[in-house]
Structure 1
């Protein structure tokens, strides 16, 4: 598996790793419950029950995981306002626990009902406290996993930043070089080496041949800065350097396909077609 392949599908790999880990961990927990009960004598439950308990908890965790990723992006821990951040994450952990409990109890009740049985959650306040104790640890563990994963990915793939004149450039500054930090080293690349841009959340991925470098910016901000250097937006999520275009193929739908010299094929949305034509006329040397 190449680094480029991993970068393209890292979300799927991360999801596969998380699902596998939780499934294996909860399977071990369920089988441990059965083995401990057998060691003490007759089973006080059906063989399938521990798996329902554990897998319902796993499903709840997986469903809430995207919300936790969003929290870390939208409200990163601020060490300058540590008391505020601690309070925010404490409230978030309580919400996480309540939602997790709600999901797993609903799943358990549904399965028990199908089996013609009744699920008893127990003494509510005690069980909520008991579950929160476990969920708080799980909440913190997932945060550590997410941050560690993001750090490892950033070190492997590198992260780009504009090289500008001065420490506080104006909002509409322009630049022609990027500083890429990767595995403790720094590289300088030119904007003219970038083939196309891909929006990815709070980042824009810069594609240079088979390499991908994330730059912390939005597509709207970045394309405004790079248009004077021959870049043009062709889709809500994509932009290209006109010099990198090899051919344009109209489609029956009204969209078009743009093939780059690297062989990459991107969609030219009808929404951006007139804008694209205008850029071609403005940069005749790029046709």
Structure 2
């Protein structure tokens, strides 16, 4: 066990090694989705307003024969299309998170994604502009598509990078609020075992504080990008690991794999409901539900009978 973990274990007796009181994460969680949606809407609305105002000022400064409504159409079409693409970007960053391991592959995938983002952005905003122009009896043309796609990509690539960095930074902040878990390491003065030891406790760091969670208190585990979320008494604590790695460390008599993305604590399973598809739905003792794929359903039934 490393020095920090040893100190934490020695300092926290079983009676006090419990979950901290309701904090910032619990207060923020009910507001998380509306806050995130509002952030993106406000961000793009401000960009559209600022871009429109800047363009109108430039038009009047240089005496260009362009109606004042045109910059509003240009900016709102661009921002509306980018806003519509945000959910896809959020999904992609979950599938390909920024990480040092395999950074070349990650960078290549994000460069490719930035090209796709830019093309979709240009096609979407041009379609909106053409529709608006046509409604007032005008015609909108982008011009040379080749050079304009390159021009737009140079702008979109920067926007893509800023958004990815913001998303990853925001997720890092959420993990700090939520609390990150780690497996307590073996003592430094002991030889490393040939097989990974089964963790009896997880050390959770949350906003500069540490507390312990017993492994048998984990109700289920869910894969989430390059993390595995530990569900404990209604809260999720991200553990930097893979499902395969953590599954190999858990007690097979207590924990069972029920899905590609889920492992459940058999002591916390309430009932298993078969589905027509051959899969099943697991209802935990606290009323929450976890999917069970047909691949693991028979093994889960045997383990339940054995328990």
TM range (shorter): 0.7 to 0.9
Deviation at 1:22, TM superposition (A): 1.4
Matched, 1:209 2:233: yes
Note the 1:258-269 alignment, pairs <5 A: 258-269=282-293
Q: How many angstroms apart in 1 are the aligned matches of 2:45 and 2:203?
A: 41
Taking a change above 3 Å as real, the CA distance of residues 263 and 57 of structure 1, as seen in their structure-2 partners, is: same
The reply to whether residue 61 of structure 1 matches residue 82 of structure 2 is yes
Counterpart mapping for 1:164-183 below 5 A: 164-165=185-186, 174-183=198-207
**Residue of structure 2 in register with 1:105 after alignment:** 126
d(CA) in 2 for partners of 1:109, 1:26: 18
Offset at 1:180?
1.5
Find the counterpart in structure 1 of residue 160 from structure 2. Answer: 139
How far apart, CA to CA, are the structure 2 residues paired with 1:81 and 1:261? 41
Separation in 2 of the partners of 1:169 and 1:54? Answer: 61
Q: Identify the match of residue 256 of structure 2 among 232, 235, 242.
A: 232
Q: Distance in 1 between matches of 2:305 and 2:156?
A: 59
CA-to-aligned-CA distance 1:73-93 (integer Å, 9 cap, x gap): 6373659989x9989877765
Question: Are 1:248 and 2:271 matched, yes or no?
Answer: yes
Offset of residue 99 of structure 1: 4.8
Is the 2:179–2:204 Cα contact (8 Å) retained in structure 1? Answer: yes
CA distance in 1, matches of 2:142, 2:42: 27
Whether 1:281 and 2:301 are equivalent positions in the alignment is no
Equivalent residues, number: 280
**C-alpha distance in 1, partners of 2:218/2:24?**
20
Q: CA deviation at 1:152?
A: 0.9
Is the contact between residue 248 and residue 256 of structure 1 (CA under 8 Å) also seen in structure 2? no
Task: Say which of 64, 71, 76 aligns to 2:98.
Answer: 76
Deviation by residue 1:191-221 (Cα, 9 ceiling, x = unmatched): 1111122232332211111221011233344
Q: TM-score when scaled to structure 2?
A: 0.69
Q: Which residue of 1 aligns with 2:215?
A: 191
- TM-superposed deviation, 1:156: 0.4
The structure-2 alpha-carbon separation of the partners of 1:132 and 1:267, relative to structure 1 and needing over 3 Å to count, comes to closer
d(CA) in 2 for partners of 1:183, 1:281 = 42
Give the unaligned 5+ runs of structure 2: 1-22
Uncovered stretches (5+) of structure 1, i.e. residues with no partner:
none
Q: What is residue 7 of structure 2 aligned with on the other side?
A: none
Q: Secondary structure at the match of 1:135?
A: helix
TM-score, length basis structure 1? 0.72
- Rounded to whole Å, the distance in 1 between the matches of 2:289 and 2:100 is 41
Tell me if structure 2 keeps the 8 A contact 1:4–1:212.
no
Residues 230/12 of structure 1: CA separation in 2 closer, same or farther (3 Å cut): farther
Q: Deviations over 1:4-24 (max 9, x none)?
A: 585588567534422332134
CA distance in 1, matches of 2:258, 2:26: 23
1:1-12 correspondence runs (5 A): 3-4=25-26
- Aligned in 2, Cα 1:226/1:13: closer, same or farther, shift over 3 Å? farther
Q: Which of these residues, 17, 21, 25, is aligned with residue 43 of structure 2?
A: 21
